[in-house]
Structure 1
Amino acid sequence: MADSDGEYVGDMSDDDLIDHRVSSAADGDTYGTRSRGHTKGKGDGKKAKGGAGRKAAWEDIQRSWEDVIETADGSITVGEYLEAEKRRRLLRDTTPLQRGIIRHLILVLDMSFAMAEKDLLPNRYLLTINYAVEFVREYFEQNPISQMGVVGMRDGIAVRISDMSGNPTEHIEKLREWAEQQEPQGNPSLQNALEMCRGALFHAPSHGTREVLIIYGALLSSDPGDIHDTITNLINDRIRVSIVGLSAQVAICAELVSKTNGTDVGSYSVALHEQHFRELFLAATTPPVTRTSEQHNASLLMMGFPSRTVASEDHISLCACHNKPSREGYSCTRCRTKVCRLPAECPVCGLTLILSTHLARSYHHLFPLRNWVEVPWTDAGRSLACFSCLAPFPPVSKAKLKAKGKQDSVAGSDVKGASESGRYACQVCWKHFCIDCDVFAHEVIHNCPGCQSDTRGVEAPAGDINGNSHGGPMEIDT
Structure 2
Amino acid sequence: MADSDGEFVVDGMSEDDMDHTVSDDEGRPTRAKASRSRRKGDRKGAQAWEQSRRTWETNLPDEDQDGVLNLTALEAEKRRRLLRDTTPLQRGIIRHLVLVLDMSFAMADKDLLPTRFRLTLSYAAAFVREFFEQNPISQLGIVGMRDGVAVRISDLGGNPAEHLERLRSIEGQDPQGNPSLQNALEMCRGALFHAPSHGTREVLIIYGALLSSDPGDIHDTISSLITDRIRVSIVGLSAQVAICADLCSKTNAGDDSQYNVAMDEVHFRDLFLAATTPPVTRTQEQSTASLLMMGFPSRILAPGGSTSYCACHNKPFREGYACTRCAARVCRLPAECPACGLTLILSTHLARSYHHLFPLRNWVEVSWADAAPSAVCFSCQCPFPGQPKGRAHAERGREDPTRQTSKGVSESGRYACEVCGNHFCIDCDVFAHEVIHNCPGCQSIVPAHGPAQVNGNGHANGSMEVDS
Common topology (TM > 0.5): yes
Aligned to 1:183: 174
After TM superposition, list the pairs within 5 Å mapping 1:156-235 onto structure 2. Answer: 156-180=148-172, 182-235=173-226
Q: Among residues 128, 141, 151, which one is paired with 2:133 in the alignment?
A: 141
CA drift of 1:77 comes to: 5.8
Q: Tell whether the 8 Å contact from 2:76 to 2:407 is kept in structure 1 after alignment.
A: no
Using a 3 Å threshold, how does the CA distance of structure 1 residues 309 and 400 change in structure 2: closer, same or farther? farther
Report the Cα distance in structure 1 between the residues aligned to 2:58 and 2:179, rounded to whole angstroms. 47
**Aligned partner of residue 359 in structure 1, secondary structure:** helix
CA drift of 1:273 comes to: 0.3
Is 2:377 the partner of 1:383?
A: no
CA drift of 1:327 comes to: 1.1
2:155 is aligned with what amino acid? D
Report the Cα distance in structure 1 between the residues aligned to 2:417 and 2:330, rounded to whole angstroms. 42
Report the Cα distance in structure 2 between the residues aligned to 1:201 and 1:418, rounded to whole angstroms. 43
2:432 is aligned with what amino acid? A
CA drift of 1:64 comes to: 12
Report the Cα distance in structure 2 between the residues aligned to 1:146 and 1:236, rounded to whole angstroms. 22
Is 2:238 the partner of 1:244?
A: no
Deviations 1:294-350 (A, max 9, x none): 221111100000011122565422111111011110000000000001000011111
| Deviates further, 393-402 or 335-344 | 393-402
CA drift of 1:406 comes to: 9.2
Using a 3 Å threshold, how does the CA distance of structure 1 residues 236 and 404 change in structure 2: closer, same or farther? farther
TM-score by length of 2: 0.80
Q: Among residues 276, 280, 296, which one is paired with 2:271 in the alignment?
A: 280
Q: Mind listing any 5+ residue stretches in structure 1 that lack a counterpart?
A: 1-62, 70-75, 408-414, 459-472
Report the Cα distance in structure 1 between the residues aligned to 2:235 and 2:290, rounded to whole angstroms. 33
Using a 3 Å threshold, how does the CA distance of structure 1 residues 240 and 130 change in structure 2: closer, same or farther? same
Q: Among residues 349, 359, 365, which one is paired with 1:374 in the alignment?
A: 365
Report the Cα distance in structure 2 between the residues aligned to 1:79 and 1:405, rounded to whole angstroms. 17
Q: Tell whether the 8 Å contact from 2:234 to 2:258 is kept in structure 1 after alignment.
A: yes
Report the Cα distance in structure 1 between the residues aligned to 2:171 and 2:448, rounded to whole angstroms. 53
Deviations 1:240-292 (A, max 9, x none): 00000000000000000010001111000000000000000000000001112
Aligned length: 389
Report the Cα distance in structure 2 between the residues aligned to 1:334 and 1:177, rounded to whole angstroms. 37
Report the Cα distance in structure 2 between the residues aligned to 1:96 and 1:385, rounded to whole angstroms. 31
Aligned to 1:117: 109
Aligned to 1:68: 62
Report the Cα distance in structure 1 between the residues aligned to 2:457 and 2:163, rounded to whole angstroms. 44
Using a 3 Å threshold, how does the CA distance of structure 1 residues 401 and 378 change in structure 2: closer, same or farther? farther
Give % identity.
73
Aligned to 1:264: 255
Deviations 1:219-254 (A, max 9, x none): 000001100000000000000000000000000000
Using a 3 Å threshold, how does the CA distance of structure 1 residues 78 and 155 change in structure 2: closer, same or farther? farther
**Aligned partner of residue 437 in structure 1, secondary structure:** helix
1:85 is aligned with what amino acid? E
Report the Cα distance in structure 1 between the residues aligned to 2:345 and 2:226, rounded to whole angstroms. 31
Report the Cα distance in structure 1 between the residues aligned to 2:157 and 2:209, rounded to whole angstroms. 28
After TM superposition, list the pairs within 5 Å mapping 1:309-348 onto structure 2. Answer: 309-312=300-303, 315-348=306-339
Report the Cα distance in structure 2 between the residues aligned to 1:404 and 1:335, rounded to whole angstroms. 72
Report the Cα distance in structure 2 between the residues aligned to 1:386 and 1:433, rounded to whole angstroms. 5
CA drift of 1:457 comes to: 5.3
**Aligned partner of residue 275 in structure 1, secondary structure:** helix
**Aligned partner of residue 68 in structure 1, secondary structure:** coil
**Aligned partner of residue 153 in structure 1, secondary structure:** strand
Aligned to 2:290: 299
Report the Cα distance in structure 2 between the residues aligned to 1:368 and 1:392, rounded to whole angstroms. 28
Report the Cα distance in structure 1 between the residues aligned to 2:457 and 2:120, rounded to whole angstroms. 45
2:149 is aligned with what amino acid? I
Deviations 1:361-405 (A, max 9, x none): 101100000000000011112111111011111012343444369
Deviations 1:408-428 (A, max 9, x none): xxxxxxx95111111100010
Q: Tell whether the 8 Å contact from 2:368 to 2:393 is kept in structure 1 after alignment.
A: no
Q: Tell whether the 8 Å contact from 1:210 to 1:239 is kept in structure 2 after alignment.
A: yes
Q: Tell whether the 8 Å contact from 1:150 to 1:160 is kept in structure 2 after alignment.
A: yes
Aligned to 1:470: none
2:87 is aligned with what amino acid? T
Aligned to 1:455: 446
CA drift of 1:68 comes to: 2.1
Q: Tell whether the 8 Å contact from 1:457 to 1:474 is kept in structure 2 after alignment.
A: no
Report the Cα distance in structure 1 between the residues aligned to 2:407 and 2:62, rounded to whole angstroms. 21
Using a 3 Å threshold, how does the CA distance of structure 1 residues 335 and 429 change in structure 2: closer, same or farther? same
**Aligned partner of residue 151 in structure 1, secondary structure:** strand
Report the Cα distance in structure 1 between the residues aligned to 2:192 and 2:459, rounded to whole angstroms. 41
Aligned to 1:105: 97
CA drift of 1:124 comes to: 0.3
| Deviates further, 415-424 or 342-351 | 415-424
Report the Cα distance in structure 1 between the residues aligned to 2:239 and 2:448, rounded to whole angstroms. 53
**Aligned partner of residue 266 in structure 1, secondary structure:** helix
Using a 3 Å threshold, how does the CA distance of structure 1 residues 196 and 65 change in structure 2: closer, same or farther? closer
Using a 3 Å threshold, how does the CA distance of structure 1 residues 165 and 475 change in structure 2: closer, same or farther? closer
Is 2:135 the partner of 1:154?
A: no
Deviations 1:123-159 (A, max 9, x none): 1000000000000000000000000100000000000
CA drift of 1:165 comes to: 0.1
Report the Cα distance in structure 2 between the residues aligned to 1:239 and 1:299, rounded to whole angstroms. 19
Report the Cα distance in structure 2 between the residues aligned to 1:65 and 1:241, rounded to whole angstroms. 35
Using a 3 Å threshold, how does the CA distance of structure 1 residues 324 and 65 change in structure 2: closer, same or farther? closer
1:439 is aligned with what amino acid? V
Report the Cα distance in structure 1 between the residues aligned to 2:391 and 2:94, rounded to whole angstroms. 50
**Aligned partner of residue 291 in structure 2, secondary structure:** coil
- Root-mean-square deviation over aligned CA pairs: 2.3
Is 2:420 the partner of 1:429?
A: yes
1:345 is aligned with what amino acid? E
Is 2:78 the partner of 1:86?
A: yes
Deviations 1:445-476 (A, max 9, x none): 00000000111359xxxxxxxxxxxxxx9956
Q: Tell whether the 8 Å contact from 1:457 to 1:476 is kept in structure 2 after alignment.
A: no
Report the Cα distance in structure 2 between the residues aligned to 1:432 and 1:81, rounded to whole angstroms. 21
**Aligned partner of residue 179 in structure 1, secondary structure:** coil
